[in-house]
Amino acid sequence: MKLRLVYAAFLLVALAACGSENSSEGNAVAAPAPEVIDEQALTADCDRCHGKDGATSINSAPFLAGQHRPYLIAAIREYVVGARLHKSMRDSVVALTDAERLSVAEHYTKLDTPWKGVEKAKPASAGRIDKRAVAAGKRIVRQCTSCHGGKGISTRPGVPNLAGLQPDYFKRSLRTYLSGERVGADIMKNFKYSLSKRDIDNLAAYFASLKPGKAALATQGSVKRGRKSAADCVSCHGANGNSINPDIPSLAGQDGRYLNIAMQHYRDGERKNAMMKKAVAGFSDQKIANLAAYYSRQKPASPATGESGKPGVFDPLGDGARLAASCDGCHGKNGNGGQGGVPRLTGLAPGYLFAAIQAYKTGERKNETMQMFTRTLSDVAIEKVSLFYATQEPTENKQPGKDDALAGEKISAACAGCHGEKGISTDPKVPSLAGQDAAYLMSAIREYASGKRHYEAMTDAVKGLDNQATGDVATWYASLNGTRPEVRLPESPASWVVKCDRCHGPAGYSEQPDKPIITGQVESYLVKSLIAYRDGTRKHSMMNAMLGEISLSEITALAAHYARQSRPEKKAGKGAAGQ
């Protein structure tokens, strides 16, 4: 009986199921319609930066055409969750559904536009010379050519070359002539009312755009003797008179008689420039003539950038040495001390030097001379200079202090916690004080105590020191021997490429769908990405660990390498990259 009841119940359930299935045919419930996606509208936001072809970059946006789909999907998700920080990107993708994100990724994966990530090299004067200003200057330059030559190369003795002249220096000089502040060229006053500020800017741009050359006029004086004297001028006017500073003129190939007269005017106080007056003070007429003869015969170079190693050669230390030559006048050879009251740079860690130079460049640290010499340096150039000084061997301090070193030793006990035992810091962000110039240390301590330099910990540490204690502790540190810090030297691009190709494939053409293709990628995008991985603002455990100590020099060289690589011929079926 129980079996029959169970069987009957089973039949009822089965019949009910059949009835339900049959009735659904008559009263069908519509299945959810697939999401309709307008791909063109969906990618309109993306096209603004990445281009309709997926290989047009605006504001260093990466190329996406033909990139692996899984990688693109993962990248979009990282912007959404904040693993990658980019407000515009997050705003563009945060509201997309999973299906829309997939559609965007597939859209770019299917494109096959070739990548050419090498960006056109900018001239050294980029940001200072405008093409429209050059054209405008050319229209009004005729009034200058009768004296300064048709191409800015002087044909009249005593008249300077203007071709290739630093525009900032040109503008400042011309204004001093027009105002009468400079003497010796009365004809220049005739242009006082005919040249507007814009005209001066345009003329500066025009002459800066011209190729520099030698004045063809003979100059009296000994070139050989002038070369010896020129060693003291390198720090400002550059090697062989080719300046890398927009505020300081190049002298190479300049008219010798003009140089002769100009130096005499500086020496005699007729031209007002404290640095130049000090540089040529006491020079005889013959010594000036020799210097003028030497510089007039040097070959002028089209504007030097200061990063002037041989093209394609990776030599950060060599580049740093060339740049640092401009610092020798104040900081001494290899940074081992020059003028009293000026800091010695050897024995300082590159991280500290980098931060200090940046502070002078931005004006956070107030020093007009330092700002003039640093304001045009790129971050890469600052890093190279810092690395150069950090690798130099400190020599004995020739300018020890005059106060009580033993008393200073007792005071220094309170400084050891940050600056290290005997002034040797173990923190790359805190300067070593051993062997530092005593007068500079005294000045720095007073600036911290008064608040002129802003660093709370230092202000608290030194505000109780009187003049005697300040002199004593400065004398103690100046009496010690500095040591060269431990420095990681940059690896060659070839060494880095071996590491990167392990994941990204030969020449950066990854076949792994979760690894991005970087062959021919936008150079500036690669630089930004590598910096973000190094600094940890872009999260990826392997990339963060590998790039934790990479330098800007290595980053820029590595980015340039991959940007110059060519992608292989597209294989059959590659349209579904990363499927």
- The tokens describing 126, both together, are 């980029």
pLDDT mean over 452-459: 90
Q: Does domain 131-296 have CATH number 2.40.360.20?
A: no
pLDDT band at 34 (very low <50, low <70, confident <90, very high): low
pLDDT surpasses 90 at 468: yes
CATH of domain 45-110: 1.10.760.10
pLDDT surpasses 70 at 1: no
pLDDT surpasses 50 at 515: yes
Full-model pTM: 0.79
Percent of the chain with pLDDT strictly greater than 90: 57
Question: pLDDT averaged over the chain?
Answer: 86
pLDDT mean over 341-353: 95
Question: What residues does each domain of the chain span?
Answer: 45-110, 131-296, 316-478, 493-576
Buried b / exposed e across 97-122, counting CB within 10 Å, b at 16+? eeebbbbbbbbbbebebebbbeeeee
- Coil/strand/helix, residue 320: helix
Question: Comparing C-alpha atoms, which of 194, 199, 206 is closest to residue 135?
Answer: 206
Helices 467-478 and 405-412 cross at an angle (nearest 10°) of: 90
Q: Which residues contact 472 (CB under 8 A, 6 or more apart)?
A: 403, 404, 405, 407, 408, 411
If phi over 0 gives left and psi between -120 and 50 gives alpha, with beta otherwise, what is residue 30?
A: beta
Question: Which sign does the torsion angle of CA 388, 389, 394, 397 carry?
Answer: positive
Q: What class has domain 316-478?
A: mainly alpha
pLDDT band at 129 (very low <50, low <70, confident <90, very high): low
pLDDT in tens, 278-317: 889 999 999 999 999 999 999 987 654 445 456 678 999 9
223 close to 297: Cβ distance less than 8 angstroms: yes
pLDDT in tens, 195-248: 999 999 999 999 999 989 888 776 789 999 999 998 888 878 887 888 877 788
Q: Is 316-478 the same fold as 131-296?
A: yes
pLDDT band at 326 (very low <50, low <70, confident <90, very high): confident
pLDDT surpasses 70 at 388: yes
pLDDT in tens, 482-509: 999 999 999 999 999 999 999 999 999 9
Q: Which residues contact 571 (CB under 8 A, 6 or more apart)?
A: none
pLDDT surpasses 50 at 14: no
Tell me how far apart the alpha carbons of residues 51 and 53 are, in angstroms, rounded to a whole number. Answer: 5
* CATH (one of 1.10.760.10, 3.40.50.300, 1.10.3720.10, 3.40.190.10) for 493-576: 1.10.760.10
Query: What pLDDT sits at residue 247?
Result: 80
Query: What pLDDT sits at residue 303?
Result: 52
pLDDT surpasses 80 at 576: no
